[in-house]
Structure 1
Amino acid sequence: MKNSLRLGALMLGTTLLLSGCATSVSAEPATDQGPATELRLGYFDNVTHAAALVGLQNGFFEDALGDTTLSTQIFSAGQSAVEALSAGAIDAAYIGPSPAVNTFVQSGGQSAVIVAGAASGGAALVVRDGIDTPADLAGTTIATPQLGNTQDVALRSWLGDEGYETSTIGGGDVTVSPGDNAQTLTLFQSGKIDGAWLPEPWVSRLVLEGGGHVLVNEADLWDNGDFPTTVLLVRKAFLEEHPDTVSALLQGHVTAVDWLTQNPADAAATINTKLKADTGKALTDDVLTRALTEVKFNVDPLASTFPVSLAEAVKAGLGKDGDLDGLFNVALLNAVLVKHAEEPVSAGGLGTE
C-alpha cells in the first residue's frame, strides 16, 4: 500500500510539474494600481532562505512595506510554492531556480519573474558510510526535497552524467525518492535511505546528526563555485499592478542581505530565533555554524546560470525547453541598490535591468 501511495503521489507530482502548474494568466499587461493593501510572501525554513528569515525576524520587510500588510506562508519545497504562486495564493516567494524556470517556461513567460537573488551555494549530496565514489551508488535510494525541485533536478542531472538512469515514478539504476526534508533525516538515520541531495541546513544535519559524509558538493560542479540556490520570484501580474510594493519588498530584501553579510556574528542567533518561532525547535550551534559556512548571501541572481538549469531539467525529463527571455526584471532591484550605493546586477540578457 505504501509503495502504491508513493507511486501515485509521484505520478501526480510529475503531471503537475510537466503541465507547468497551469493557471489562467493574461497576455495583456496589467496597469499600475498603486501600493497593494497586502503582500503574501512564501519562504522555506532553510538556511538558504536566511534573507527571508532575517527580514521577517528583524522587521525589515514590514518597515519597508509601510501600510501594506505582510502575510507569510511557509513551504518545504519549491514546486509547492510555485503552485501556490501560480494559483494566486501568494504574491512572491523565495524559491529555487528550477521551479522558477519551470513556471516561467510553461506559462509562456506570463506567470512570474525573478526580481532578485538571495543565496548561492549550500547544496550537496550526503551519503552513508560505504559509499565513497559515484560507482558505489548503483542500486541505492537517494532522497530529494520534492520532485522537480532544484536539488531533485541537480541530482538527476548529475546521476545522468555519471551514467545512471533514473525515473520520475521510482526505479532506475538509482532510485530517487522525493520527500519532506525532516522525514529524509529520519529515514537516513534509520538506514532506510542511502543518502540525499539537499539544501542547508539539511546537509549539515545529515552529516552531524546522521553520520553521513558529503560525496558531492554542488559548488564543485559550477565555475567559481557560484550557483543560485534561492531567488526572489514575484507574480508577473502583481509586479505590473503594484510596482511600488515590489520595490518596497526589495528594499527590505536588500536590507536583510546586507545585514547578513555585515553581521555574521549575529546571523546565527537571529536565524535560529525565527526557525524556533516557525518550527518550535532551533538548530544546534554546530549544525548552524557549519551550514552558514556553505552559503553565500547576495542579491545577484546569477542570471547567466539559468540556461544551464533549464537544460538540466530538460535532460532529466522534469522540464520543458523554452525561451527564457523576460525571466528577470531586476530594474527595481537596481534602483534600490543605487540608493544603497551598491553595484547593480545583471539580467544576463534575459530581461529588464
Structure 2
Amino acid sequence: MDTFMTILSEETGSRRSVYSYQYLRNNNQMGYHTEDRNGSLYHCLNQDIMVSILQYQREKNVKISMFLNDIPFNHEISDLEMPRHRNDFIELTYVIQGTISVIVDQELMTFTENELYLINPNVPFQEKKNISDAVVFNISLRSSFFNEILLSNIPEDSLQGFLRKCLMNEKNSAKMLRFTPSIHSVQKKISDVYSLILTEYKTRATGYMLIIQGYFTRLLDYLVSNYQFSFSEDVKNKYKEYMFQEVKNYLYTHYQVVQLQDLEDTFHYSGNYFNRLIQTFTGKSYSSYLIHIRLKIARDMLEYSTKKIDDIMEQVGYHNKGFFYKVFTEKYGKTPAAYRRELKKQDGR
C-alpha cells in the first residue's frame, strides 16, 4: 500500500498543462483516438492496454496521468462536464479514494472507495465531473486481450476456474459489472497489484507485457474470489458445490492445526457461512466435520501404520488423550487400542 500511495502522490501532485477535451481529441500522441460513428462519440484504443490515473475534484479541472510510454502524459481537462461517449475497449476502473458518479446508459450510478467497475465496449456512459470527488485508476484493454487473459491457464474443475467462467458469462451479458469487496482487507491486495502493473508499464523492460498479463490474471482472481458480483440461482448452487470442495480440501490438508478463523482468512466468509455450507453437504457442523476428518485419518493410521497410538493422536491434532479416546470410541465403538487389536485378529497377525 505504501508503494501504491507513493506512486499516487507523485502522479496526482505533479505539474501539468491545461487543455480542453476538444484539443485532446486532435492530439495524435494520446494512447487512444476518438471517432464519430453514426452520431456517437467513440474512444478507440491504439494498443492492447493503457493505464491512467484520474482525479475528480467536483467543479475543478480533472487531473489525468496517462502512461503511454516511460514518461506519463500529465494534463488537466478544463471542460465543465465530461462528454458522453462509448469505448471500443473494456475499461476497468478502481476507486482509490472518494466517490465517482457515472451515467451508464441511462442509469446514474455512484461508486465508492475500494469498489471497481467494468464497462463493456459500445456502452454509452459519462462521468459526472460536477458531483464526483475521487481518485480512480483505469486499466483499458482491448476485448481480445482481456478475454485471452481471463481464459488463460484456467484450472479445470476448480472454484477459481468456475468463477472466471462466471465472470466471462456475466461480462458478455451485461453492460457493466460492479465489484463490491466482501472484506475491507482485500484493498491492499488490489492496490498492490495495480502498483505492480503500473511499475511494469512505466519501466517497459523486456517482457513487460507478459509480466503485466500475469499481474492482471492475479487481479481478476482477486476480484472473483474477494468481490461480490451477480449470480443466477443455478450458478449460486454450483458455486456452493465448488466452495465446499475447496473447504474440504483445505481441511484435509490442514486438519492438524486448522481453526475456523483460518477458513475465514482464506476464503473471506464468516464462520456462520462455513457452518451452513458444511451442514448442507455433510449434515455436520464445522467442528463435527473436523472431528470426522481427524478420526478417519487416525483410523487409517491405526490400520496401515505401526505408529504408537499417542503419536497418532498428536499427528491428527489432539493433545488430550482422554478426549481423543472418547470421540474415537463414540464414532467406531471401540477404543483406538481395541480397534487395532481387532484389525490384527482379522488379519491373523
TM-score, normalising length: structure 2: 0.21
More RCO (CA 8 Å, sep 6+): 1
TM-score (norm 1): 0.21
